[in-house]
Structure 1
Amino acid sequence: MPTLLHIDSSLFPADASASRAVTATFRKEWEAQHPDGTVIYRDLAAEPLPHLDGLAAAAGFTPAEQRTPELEAAFALRDTLASELERADAVVIGAPMYNFTIPSSLKAWLDHVIIAGRTSMAQPSTVAGTPTVVVASRGGGYGPGTPRESFEFVLNYLGKALTEMLSLDVEFIVPELTLARTNPAMADLVDLSDASKAKAHEEAAAKAKTVTARLAA
């Protein structure tokens, strides 16, 4: 049966996190479509990964038969995380904007799973073409034509890292203005925020169905 890799990186619980709420909608619809399927879940805030260190990086560039026991131990986590990605028939990632970019916990995950000659820079990559939905929530508005358009480094970065480095087939869902109900300065944007949130949940459910249909084809 199909396997979904579900990754959350928000620091906040679901009732206070737009990205967690929307990834949950995707997962709920996925499980409805695949009642006997498997979900691999990584909560990078609850169980943060260590940053990639020199030994783990070197191990990724060393052929398996040439790794020392020390390199093998350093590579073990990278192998586990890459294997989870390789097992997945679909991926959903919660990627809230923090200080104009992704959470460091999500960057750590990427640094571990991007392995040259395996998941990246391989012909083909072991994860090439895996349908991936990224919920890129942000507290304000950063779309084309907005005053802070140039501050947006979530879609720009993940669009490159996930497609160019991992060769995943990526789509984005972007709930915007998520702080409108808690920031008095954004009071006049509440309706737009609510509409963006509702649209994001609709898109998440629809994309889960679309991915299901694609895998069944």
Structure 2
Amino acid sequence: MSQVLVIESSARKQGSVSRELTAQFIAQWRAAHPGDTITVRDLAVDQVPHLDMDLLGGWMTPADQQSDAEKAALARSNTLTNELLAADVLVLAAPMYNFTIPSTLKSWLDHVLRAGVTFKYTDTGPQGLLTGKRAFVLTSRGGIYAGSSADHQEPYLRQALAFVGIHEVSFIHAEGLNLGGEFLEKGLNQAKSQLAQVA
């Protein structure tokens, strides 16, 4: 029995392709793994603030010296990090906004990439502490970017996940969605076809 953590980051509640892909993933995963637990965190509904002084203070200030704001920021970071620590499978739904990930997803990463918790520094450099997990990244893109220098999503997310020890990462891109006609249909169908093989 596995724990699956799904992170939604689309700002759109209706008409979102990344949410459509997530719904398909969850349905297929539940059918194939009925005993698994799936937790969905929707960053459009339960927004995570940007990295700020309160969070830095919560991480770095001794507990008995923390302000109320620092304690609240640390508690929020702990909640998000504990969800990730408990997960065996991570699913990131990431529409492309201005060539990269939504700022809401970046904020989530800023809360869970934590020295001494999800990675540590060693004499030979940083070492990820989340080994043994696997991740799926479901993207939606208006144009066609995979493999090009304009794709700042996949390289960044691969590096961020590898930094915490998650190296088994599969990307499923729905591309060309704003190009209309056959591009839209082809991009969506290819992504759904790949998804059908995941579970």
Instruction: Identify the TM-score tier after normalising by the shorter chain.
Output: 0.7 to 0.9
> Residue type matched to 2:10 in 1?
S
- Report the counterpart of residue 51 of structure 1 in structure 2: 50
Displacement after TM superposition at 1:58 (Å): 3.5
Is residue 120–residue 129 contact of structure 2 (8 Å, CA) maintained in 1?
no
- Answer yes or no: is 1:167 the counterpart of 2:145: no
Supply the AA of the counterpart residue of 2:2: P
Who is 1:211 aligned against? none
CA contact (8 A) 1:61 1:116 kept: no
SS of corresponding position for 2:174: coil
Change (3 A) 1:49 1:155: same
How far is the alpha carbon of 1:120 from its aligned partner? 1.9
SS of aligned partner of 2:145:
coil
**Whole-angstrom CA distance in 2 between matches of 1:129 and 1:191:** 39
Q: Distance in 2 between matches of 1:126 and 1:86?
A: 9
Q: Is the 8 A contact 2:91 2:137 kept in 1?
A: yes
Q: Distance in 2 between matches of 1:113 and 1:60?
A: 12
Moved over 6 A (4+): none
Residue among 141, 146, 150 paired with 2:144 = 141
Quote the residue 1:39 is aligned against. Answer: 38
Do 1:86 and 1:126's aligned partners in 2 also have CA atoms closer than 8 Å?
no
Q: Which residue of 57, 63, 70 corresponds with 1:67?
A: 63
Identity score, percent:
39
The number of residue pairs the alignment matches comes to 191
CA distance in structure 2 between the partners assigned to 1:132 and 1:174 by the alignment: 14
- Shift of residue 195, structure 1, vs aligned partner: 1.8
Choose between structure 1 and 2: higher helix proportion.
Answer: 1
CA distance in 2 between partners of 1:6 and 1:179 (Å): 25
- Normalized per residue, the structure richer in strand is 2
Q: How does 1:51-200 map to 2 (within 5 A)?
A: 51-61=50-60, 66-68=62-64, 69-70=66-67, 71-121=70-120, 125-144=128-147, 149-164=148-163, 166-168=164-166, 169-181=168-180, 190-200=181-191
Aligned equivalents of 1:111 and 1:43: distance in 2? 16
User: Offset of 1:74 from its aligned partner?
Assistant: 2.7
Is residue 19–residue 136 contact of structure 1 (8 Å, CA) maintained in 2? yes
CA RMSD of aligned residues (A): 1.9
Residue of structure 1 equivalent to 2:2: 2
**Do structure 1's residue 207 and structure 2's residue 198 form an aligned pair?**
yes
Kindly state the Cα deviation for residue 24 of structure 1 after the two structures are TM-superposed: 1.4
CA contact (8 A) 1:60 1:116 kept: no
Rounded to whole Å, the distance in 2 between the matches of 1:55 and 1:192 is 45
Unaligned runs of 5+ in 2: none
Alignment-mate amino acid for residue 42 of structure 1? R
Cα-to-partner distance string for 1:106-134 (whole Å, 9 max, x where unaligned): 00000001110111236864422311000
- Uncovered stretches (5+) of structure 1, i.e. residues with no partner: 182-189, 209-217
Give yes or no for contact 1:140–1:179 (8 Å, CA) kept in 2.
yes
